Amino acid sequence: MKFPPFLSFPGRRKAPDHLSLGVWGEKRAEKMLRRKGVKILGRRVRVGRHDELDLIARDGDMLVVVEVKTRSREGLELPRKSVTYEKQRRLSRAAVRYARRLRPKPAGIRFDIVEVIGTPGRVPPKIRHLPGAFGLHSDFRL
């Protein structure tokens, strides 16, 4: 009997294809940010029970939270629209919780969106970086 590849069985640990595309995009975004001189602090960081941050970085004394959007082709959706109001609120909550544990404290929090367009094994991906895409949600303070 054949099982779908995304089911977990002993000895089989392959993630679904849509998840592997996201991980690939996050690696490309991380490489691009490192070239710009940003220090990466963590990848896929879980904060609390429900929040996950794609990339956490430091740019000088500023904490940078990066939301990575990976797409196989262009024209599906604008990256700013894909980060909804509720997603911005969750990212703000997670970023403040994370920043409170840091020593020394960051001077502020900046939220960036990195859009990676392409697929693994093809031509080099197209990468768009939107620094300061949105601000800290008004419900939270650093």
Q: Is 73 inside a domain boundary?
A: yes
Question: Considering its fold, how many domains does the chain have in total?
Answer: 1
The answer to the question of residue 12 being in a domain is: no
- Single pTM value for the model: 0.80
Q: Which domain holds residue 92?
A: 17-134
Residue at token pair 């970086």: 129
Q: Measured between alpha carbons, how far is residue 125 from residues 5, 52, 76 in Å?
A: 26, 24, 15
Q: Is residue 96 a part of any domain in this protein?
A: yes
The arrangement of strands across the sheet holding 51-59 comes to 39-47, 51-59, 62-71, 108-117, 126-134
Q: Is residue 108 part of a domain?
A: yes
102, part of any domain = yes
Question: Is position 9 within any domain?
Answer: no
In a domain, 3, yes or no: no
Decide the pairing of beta strands 62-71 and 126-134. Answer: unpaired
Q: pLDDT tens per residue, the chain (142 residues)?
A: 454 554 445 555 666 665 688 889 999 999 999 999 999 999 999 998 889 999 999 999 999 999 999 888 877 667 778 899 999 999 999 999 999 999 888 999 999 999 999 888 878 899 999 999 999 987 777 6
The CATH number covering residue 100 comes to: 3.40.1350.10
Would you say residue 78 lies in a domain? yes
